[in-house]
Amino acid sequence: MKKNVVVLNCGSSSVKFAIIDAKTGEASLTGLAENLGNADSCMTFKTQGKKQQGDLVANANHAQALKAIQDVIASTGEKPVAVGHRVVHGGERFKEAALVDNSVLAAIEDYASMSPLHNMANLKGITTAQAAYPDLPHVAVFDTSFFQQVPQRAYLYALPKKLYEEHGIRSYGFHGTSHQFILDSSASLLNKPVSETSIISAHLGNGCSVAAIEKGIAHDTSMGFTPLEGLVMGTRCGDIDPSLPGTLQAKLGKSVSEINDLLNKQSGLLGLSELSNDCRTLEEAAQNGHEGAKLALEVFCYRLAKYIASYLIVVPSLDAIVFTGGIGENSSYIRSTTMAYFAHLGFSINNDENLAKRFGTGGNIAHECSSKPVFVVATNEEWVIAAQALTFA
């Protein structure tokens, strides 16, 4: 029997929604309400393979969007047994998903000081959905939980220790639900129990992160106090010299929030290429000789390879390197360019398999003589959220 869970990912100006059968991962509905608070707010959804436009007023707010989503859910005739909410920051308290009650709501609000845009939007999504579905259990599933077993030597910054103790300044890690899914899928591909599976997983979407997972437990990850640290991303810079924000503020006469905007929204692939944050556009432009696009892709792959290489020491029982996310699942160019850095360590890619793995087709892209497999796996964060929510239904 189906165990349908409504999965909500409420952002500052959008709500992503789905009905997922938590047993199989199958989605009977997926959709997106976006540009909330703007004149061009709109909603699209897909059910039974058909894409449709939803009914959403101009300047719709979150409550109006959730009401419209509730109507779409009702029209499918599916009967949800729980609502799973993606919550970005769960601090050190939430080592796993939590049934929402007043103390959980208060904690999510508390952690908003570390992730203001995300957590406040997540909170709004939860309280509005609670009013819409008062009889269903609401479950908060945190991006950070998967990394709560990372050892202190990996999560502490070398700053005065008081900053950690008094203000929670440490690395938390994000994309946890995706890395969890990749771990579970890799265990299936390797035919091993999850607790015996060791991988380095690279989630490469608009945001990008790498996780070092030894015997089923995350030991390190590239995102830090916020999702800005680590890899080169679509518009985020990832690692830079920590003195740069201050220097840039002084040199450019910009405010703290303007510098934050520059690092989060104008950097990464977009900033380097001066063309686009979209990997497809950059690959095409690079093929046509665009120097900025070539450079941006080169820096992206080099940084990624450097992170994966550093995690080879964190994951001594390595079973496989795994790529996922829009770029990881589709870009044979990024995968082969990155893995070329590992040729002297015995890794080798099968070009035909690499080219064939896209649009949801996953599997091993390593050559048979490669020292370890290299997997491509299509991530399914919604399924992880649904499965965790079901445990409370």
Any idea which residues carry the catalytic annotation?
Answer: 143
Q: Is 76 helix (H, G, I), strand (E, B) or coil?
A: helix
- Edge-to-edge strands of the sheet including 15-21? 50-53, 42-47, 27-34, 15-21, 4-10, 82-87, 138-142, 98-99
Q: Are 144 and 122 in contact (CB under 8 A)?
A: no
**Residue facing ligand ADP at closest CB distance:** 326
Sign of CA dihedral 22, 25, 26, 29: positive
Nearer residue to ligand ADP within complex by CB, 198 or 332? 332
| Shortest reach from residue 185's CB to ligand ADP, in Å | 16
Q: Which of 304, 148, 164, 150 is nearest to 220 (CA)?
A: 150
β-pairing, 27-34 vs 82-87, is: unpaired
Least distance (Å) between residue 208 CB and ligand ADP: 8
Shortest Å, Cβ 330 to ligand ADP: 3
Burial class (CB in 10 A: 0-12, 13-18, 19+), 24: exposed
Task: Round to the nearest angstrom and report the end-to-end CA distance of the chain.
Answer: 14
**Residue ranges that bind ligand ADP, judged by CB under 6 A:** 205-207, 234, 278-280, 283, 325-327, 330-331, 358
- Minimum distance of ligand ADP from residue 334's CB (angstroms): 7
Nearer to ligand ADP, 137 or 292 (CB): 292
Sheet order of strands, 199-204 included: 217-221, 208-214, 199-204, 320-324, 374-376, 363-364
Tell me how far, at minimum, the Cβ of 294 lies from ligand ADP, in Å.
15
Residue 52: left if φ>0, alpha if ψ -120 to 50, beta else—which one? beta
Nearer to ligand ADP, 47 or 273 (CB): 273
Number of residues that this document lists for the chain: 393
C-beta closer to ligand ADP: residue 140 or 279: 279
How many helices and strands in the chain, by DSSP H and E? Answer: 15, 14
Task: Please give the Cα distance from 372 to 345 (Å, whole number).
Answer: 10
Q: Least distance from C-beta 54 to ligand ADP, angstroms?
A: 20
Closest C-alpha to 324, from 380, 383, 376, 249: 376
Q: Which is nearer to ligand ADP, 155 or 323 (CB)?
A: 323
Nearer to ligand ADP, 191 or 288 (CB): 288
Question: Which CB atom, from 178 or from 198, has the smaller least distance to ligand ADP?
Answer: 178
Closest CA to 143 of 100, 186, 94, 194: 94
CB of residue 243 to ligand ADP, shortest distance in Å = 29
Phi-psi region of 293 (alpha: psi -120 to 50; beta: other; left: phi over 0): alpha
C-alpha angle 91-231-318 in degrees, rounded to nearest 5? 85
